[in-house]
Structure 1
Amino acid sequence: MLRTLRYVGAAVAALTFGSMQPAEAQQRGGAATVATIGEPNTLDPMVSAGDLLGMITQHFYETLYTFDKNWELTPLLAEKLPEVSADGKVYTIPLRQGVTFHNSQPMTAKDVVASLKRWTDLASRGKLVAGNIQAIEAIDDNTVRLTLKEPFAALTALLAFNNSAAVVMPADHMENPIKEVIGTGPYRLKERKADQYIQLVRFDGYKPREGEPNGFGGARKQYLDEIRFVPVPDANTRVEGALAGQFDYADLLPVEAYDRLRGQSKTEPLMLESFGWAMFIMNNKQGMMTKLDLRKAVQAALNAEDMLAAAFGKPEFYSVDGAMYPKSYVWRTEVGTEAYNQGDADKAAALAKKAGYDGSPIRILTSRQYEFHYKMAQVAAEYLKAAGFKVDLQVVDWATLVQRRAEPAVWDIFITHSPFLPEPALIAPLPDTYPGWWASETKNKLLTAFNTEMDQKKRIAIWADIQKLIYEEVPFYKVGDFNALTAKSPRLQGFTASPWPYFWNASLKQ
């Protein structure tokens, strides 16, 4: 079964979602077991930008807006899309009525205002807009108004995103760290046992939107009694568990397992094409990578094609592409990509000498929970050694990596990946506050121009300048594009493949 992530139209990406059986054919009840790549380091989606965290928490925390099956913005906790003033500075957001939290309290504008203020204080994406917010206020119990100092074209998309997320929490539960997980979602947290499972159960007080499911939007139907997320850090163990029928869904599997998963009775492969892109994030705040010539030396040393081949095997599973968006996206530009995929040891050595490299090891953080990260790191280490660098490859579990990357003193490069996002302002390493801490004056001027510009053609041109700057300042290194392989049980009905798998609307065939 094939799932395709592609781009259509002028401003948003389109995911061709898998066909879903009619709702009347689905059965209520049962517990679905989902094998994840590991354990999230928190259950607070405001304070972390991890995809694993967003995948899990979107079941119990909700945002004002989300994305439909065509990656168009659509309301979730808001009643409708915001009313925006002619000058683009005032957003009036009507809220859905009758929504309750998991503690049975009604959701009101007071909760939304408190949540948005917490988001701008704590979330990396919230901080992206925080300095531009003049006021967040409740007009009445069911209406919120955001007043900006300058227009911000990406605001609604930021409010819709599911990690570093503007989720709505009760106004009287704004602690940091959170003491109690209370959201509005179709499922609520029942129990978390570290390194064993996160157990969610149906929230009987949930009020779905009217109509039918539509991507992440529309009605969220609660067929399952329970969803259990089980951390399975070893990728091969996730494969074996899927083959044995132990998991109803297994996330992010090695692509070489595709042939083994085909034709099985207890599982079936799902391949998402052009799922995302892998990147090496440089530490721009502290240590050796604060030197531009040293970052350029790493850029010159690395051979992206060999890293992708090691990570994904067959060429049909990856694309050697330095542009930040694939060819089918409106944001696509090849400006700056001549610096991509050099694999030039001599040039890298010369740049390292110019930077005054003293022989200290480059500390690279990676994790085998994303096996392709680890394989890329192994190849990168060899290319860096060929250029005269020493390398300290630190292999840790994903939760530890997320914890360590927040400490600038302990790493020089870490490896991560991202799906292709419908709005470039959502790209994780762009804000100053994201680990890597790319705080360039030129970047901030371009981002301000990009985010305040409301004309789409002009935004596309500014984005080309941002991509050019990425290659000039090397805050991170894009490795290339890749497909993602997952697996699901044939008994899991109504499931729709997506970059962040969700299990409302899904059911188990009894």
Structure 2
Amino acid sequence: MTARSIRGMAAATLATTLAITAAACSAPGSAGSKAAKDSAVVGIAYEPDSLSPLLGYGKDGNSKIFDGLLTFDGAMKLRPALAAALPEVSADGLTYTYKLRKGVTFSDGQPFSAEDVVFTYRTILDKKTNNPSKTELDAVKAVEAKGDDTVVFTLKYPYAPFAERTVLPIAPQHIAAKQDVNTGPFTTAPVGTGPYILTNWSRGEKLSFKANPHYWGGAPKVKKFTMAIIKDDDVRATRLRSGDLDGAILPPNLASGFRSDTSKKTYEAMSFDYRTVTLPTHNKVSGDTAVRRALDIAVDRQTMVDKILEGAGKPAYGPVPTGSEWFTKGTERGHDLAAAKKILDAAGWKPGKDGIREKNGVRATFPLWYLSGDKLRQDHALAYASDAKKAGIDIRTQAGTWEVIEPRMKTDAVLAGGGAPGDPDFDQYTLLNSALAGDGFNNMAWYADPAVDKALDAGRRTNDKTARKAAYDTVQRALVKNPGYTFLTHIDHVYVVADSWDGLTTQVEPHDHGLASGPWWNVEDWTPRQGDPGK
């Protein structure tokens, strides 16, 4: 999607901020507008656990340090990156052959070859590698090098979106193979073929990069690029307003305060990003199907879109947005408080003296955690709890860090986020497959439905689009009958950026925490605005 100014339109959020000077991280009072023309800094709300693609970093592309065999352009179409062309695919859909780009080197000067590709994929698939996303490569049976410039993937079954999986960054065998894949220095000091080279990572503060002068795509004109880690939405807004930041992505009520600032431009990006409430099966209240079904229609999604997102989003009924070709029409759930109460009454959840329901001595109450400093999640959590209380369910909202929240996810609800553009397998498999329950942030609700498991496998094991559509229709209808999550909204992302560079665009975006998406997805293509008096 081409970025466009949306002055007067409502903003939405993604947990990221953008564009300050490299010095601004250590000197918060310095004005971003006084930065050198070749410097930019991106503020982000979260930092990664690792910078190794072997552990999942950059798996959806745009990692800046690395390249994949393929990449996505601004319209989310696949195009060659380390591959010289799109893959040749056999008639049965089981073999993908990639010819590699010649003359590419890693940032340490060593040549890139087919062996690096083979090493990367085999290492990720190794049981000893702690990559939470390895199920995304479940279809891979073998990966082999044919000389230095050809790689052949053989699949166990036809997997329609396999080419989209090969945006995964490639790691250098000559470095990463010589150390522990899970704990070695490569996890924090990576070497890649990408447009930028990591120069420093101060945990909780910033990640600093310099342009790779030998990048095969041409040396970036933005020579210094820093990601400042600013977890609190209000702090990002304050730093943007003070001139310490050149740009930010903010919750709607904070972003709207910059509409009259003529020195900044607003960029809108469509997204698959959703907010949802996990309803753990191991909690006596949230695990009750009647409670789940009641909450699913007690919630007023449209009011959340109107009030919290200020119209920049849509009601969500599952991981697939209503505008997607994969959305199952007829699975929309309207706000119906009276019907929610009837469901609870019929299931034996009776109102107590204070209006909160009880059943067999169990009070209808459970905690709902949201991430500290994330205003958007906080607002969703409070609205959800308010709607639930009208139905007689007491939801106690609590803020915490992921370190506090993660150990509680088996029994406590969480205001979570997710979403990936492209194939429905990308979202639904890891979110709903019962085998992944309790596997980190996969299937956080411990959702289990044999029919859903069967449909998820069917959807990823065929190239027949009609059969795949039927499989994902089955999944979405199952979520109506037994919603292990209460999906709330799909969120548009809106960015406020100093109008000092040319070449800024946005893509259709995933639920992302700032390392790949936003107007800096193509920062290597930015050029300083000529004659800009502010620069």
TM-score by length of structure 2 reads: 0.76
User: Which residue number corresponds to residue 108 of structure 1?
Assistant: 113
Q: Which moved more, 1:412-421 or 1:168-177?
A: 412-421
Which residue, out of 160, 177, 185, partners 1:179? Answer: 185
Describe the superposition over 1:288-346 as per-residue Cα deviations: whole angstroms up to 9, x where unpaired. 6455444334324433233334422x3x32333536545543223223324x5444552
Query: Aligned pair 1:460/2:469, yes or no?
Result: yes
- The structure-2 alpha-carbon separation of the partners of 1:490 and 1:222, relative to structure 1 and needing over 3 Å to count, comes to same
Q: Which moved more, 1:359-368 or 1:220-229?
A: 359-368
Distance in 1 (CA, whole Å) between partners of 2:123 and 2:294 is 40
Distance in 2 (CA, whole Å) between partners of 1:278 and 1:448 is 25
Which residue, out of 137, 159, 163, partners 2:144? Answer: 137
Compute the displacement of 1:355 (Å): 8.2
Alignment of 1:251-266 (within 5 A): 251=249, 253-266=250-263
Query: Aligned pair 1:92/2:93, yes or no?
Result: no
Distance in 1 (CA, whole Å) between partners of 2:73 and 2:47 is 28
- The structure-2 alpha-carbon separation of the partners of 1:200 and 1:421, relative to structure 1 and needing over 3 Å to count, comes to same
Which residue, out of 169, 172, 184, partners 1:170? Answer: 172
Distance in 2 (CA, whole Å) between partners of 1:230 and 1:282 is 34
Compute the displacement of 1:262 (Å): 2.3
Which residue, out of 256, 271, 284, partners 2:268? Answer: 271
Query: Aligned pair 1:469/2:478, yes or no?
Result: yes
- Secondary structure of the residue aligned to 1:127 is helix
Q: Which amino acid is 1:443 matched to?
A: V
User: Which residue number corresponds to residue 455 of structure 2?
Assistant: 446
User: Which residue number corresponds to residue 368 of structure 2?
Assistant: 364
- The structure-2 alpha-carbon separation of the partners of 1:292 and 1:221, relative to structure 1 and needing over 3 Å to count, comes to farther
Distance in 2 (CA, whole Å) between partners of 1:187 and 1:461 is 43
User: Which residue number corresponds to residue 152 of structure 1?
Assistant: 159
Describe the superposition over 1:207-256 as per-residue Cα deviations: whole angstroms up to 9, x where unpaired. 11xxxxxxxxxxx75111111111222223322322333223313x1222
Distance in 2 (CA, whole Å) between partners of 1:285 and 1:168 is 39
Asked if the contact 1:221/1:505 (under 8 Å) is kept, the reply is no
Q: Which amino acid is 1:101 matched to?
A: F
Compute the displacement of 1:366 (Å): 1.1
- The structure-2 alpha-carbon separation of the partners of 1:129 and 1:352, relative to structure 1 and needing over 3 Å to count, comes to farther
User: Which residue number corresponds to residue 69 of structure 1?
Assistant: 74
- Secondary structure of the residue aligned to 2:492 is strand
- The structure-2 alpha-carbon separation of the partners of 1:221 and 1:120, relative to structure 1 and needing over 3 Å to count, comes to same
Q: Which amino acid is 2:431 matched to?
A: P
Describe the superposition over 1:413-439 as per-residue Cα deviations: whole angstroms up to 9, x where unpaired. 222334561211111524535142445
Query: Aligned pair 1:224/2:216, yes or no?
Result: no
- The structure-2 alpha-carbon separation of the partners of 1:370 and 1:352, relative to structure 1 and needing over 3 Å to count, comes to farther
Distance in 2 (CA, whole Å) between partners of 1:46 and 1:295 is 37
User: Which residue number corresponds to residue 4 of structure 2?
Assistant: 2
Asked if the contact 1:29/1:225 (under 8 Å) is kept, the reply is no
- The structure-2 alpha-carbon separation of the partners of 1:352 and 1:70, relative to structure 1 and needing over 3 Å to count, comes to farther
Asked if the contact 1:366/1:393 (under 8 Å) is kept, the reply is yes
Query: Aligned pair 1:337/2:346, yes or no?
Result: no
Compute the displacement of 1:275 (Å): 6.1
Distance in 2 (CA, whole Å) between partners of 1:469 and 1:46 is 34
- Secondary structure of the residue aligned to 1:268 is strand
Distance in 1 (CA, whole Å) between partners of 2:393 and 2:91 is 55
Compute the displacement of 1:47 (Å): 4.1
Asked if the contact 1:103/1:182 (under 8 Å) is kept, the reply is yes
User: Which residue number corresponds to residue 308 of structure 1?
Assistant: 305
Asked if the contact 1:302/1:380 (under 8 Å) is kept, the reply is yes
Q: Which amino acid is 2:301 matched to?
A: A
Distance in 2 (CA, whole Å) between partners of 1:30 and 1:68 is 23
Q: Which amino acid is 1:481 matched to?
A: H
Distance in 2 (CA, whole Å) between partners of 1:297 and 1:352 is 13
- The structure-2 alpha-carbon separation of the partners of 1:285 and 1:195, relative to structure 1 and needing over 3 Å to count, comes to same
Asked if the contact 1:36/1:229 (under 8 Å) is kept, the reply is yes
- Secondary structure of the residue aligned to 1:504 is helix
Asked if the contact 1:276/1:482 (under 8 Å) is kept, the reply is yes
- The structure-2 alpha-carbon separation of the partners of 1:375 and 1:169, relative to structure 1 and needing over 3 Å to count, comes to same
Q: Which amino acid is 2:375 matched to?
A: E
Alignment of 1:9-88 (within 5 A): 30-44=38-52, 47=55, 58-88=63-93
Count of equivalent residues? 460
User: Which residue number corresponds to residue 296 of structure 1?
Assistant: 293
User: Which residue number corresponds to residue 417 of structure 1?
Assistant: 417
Distance in 1 (CA, whole Å) between partners of 2:95 and 2:271 is 36
Q: Which moved more, 1:421-430 or 1:115-124?
A: 115-124
Distance in 2 (CA, whole Å) between partners of 1:441 and 1:135 is 29
Q: Which amino acid is 2:303 matched to?
A: D
Distance in 2 (CA, whole Å) between partners of 1:381 and 1:442 is 30
Q: Which amino acid is 1:177 matched to?
A: T
- The structure-2 alpha-carbon separation of the partners of 1:333 and 1:435, relative to structure 1 and needing over 3 Å to count, comes to closer
- The structure-2 alpha-carbon separation of the partners of 1:413 and 1:177, relative to structure 1 and needing over 3 Å to count, comes to farther
User: Which residue number corresponds to residue 213 of structure 2?
Assistant: 204
Q: Which amino acid is 2:166 matched to?
A: L
- Secondary structure of the residue aligned to 1:481 is strand
Compute the displacement of 1:118 (Å): 3.0
Q: Quick check: which has more Rg, 1 or 2?
A: 2
Asked if the contact 2:503/2:527 (under 8 Å) is kept, the reply is yes
Asked if the contact 1:266/1:490 (under 8 Å) is kept, the reply is yes
Q: Which amino acid is 2:42 matched to?
A: V
Q: Which amino acid is 1:173 matched to?
A: A
Where do 5+ consecutive residues of structure 1 fail to align? Answer: 5-27, 161-165, 209-219
Asked if the contact 2:285/2:365 (under 8 Å) is kept, the reply is no
Which residue, out of 478, 488, 497, partners 1:479? Answer: 488
Identical counterparts, % of pairs: 21
Which residue, out of 381, 386, 393, partners 2:385? Answer: 381
- Secondary structure of the residue aligned to 1:337 is coil
User: Which residue number corresponds to residue 505 of structure 1?
Assistant: 525
User: Which residue number corresponds to residue 125 of structure 2?
Assistant: 120
Q: Which amino acid is 2:479 matched to?
A: I
Asked if the contact 2:43/2:248 (under 8 Å) is kept, the reply is yes
Q: Which moved more, 1:194-203 or 1:298-307?
A: 298-307
Q: Which amino acid is 1:472 matched to?
A: K
- The structure-2 alpha-carbon separation of the partners of 1:488 and 1:352, relative to structure 1 and needing over 3 Å to count, comes to farther
- Secondary structure of the residue aligned to 2:154 is strand
Asked if the contact 1:138/1:144 (under 8 Å) is kept, the reply is yes
Distance in 2 (CA, whole Å) between partners of 1:366 and 1:45 is 28
- The structure-2 alpha-carbon separation of the partners of 1:287 and 1:493, relative to structure 1 and needing over 3 Å to count, comes to farther
Distance in 2 (CA, whole Å) between partners of 1:92 and 1:286 is 48
Compute the displacement of 1:491 (Å): 1.0
Compute the displacement of 1:394 (Å): 2.6
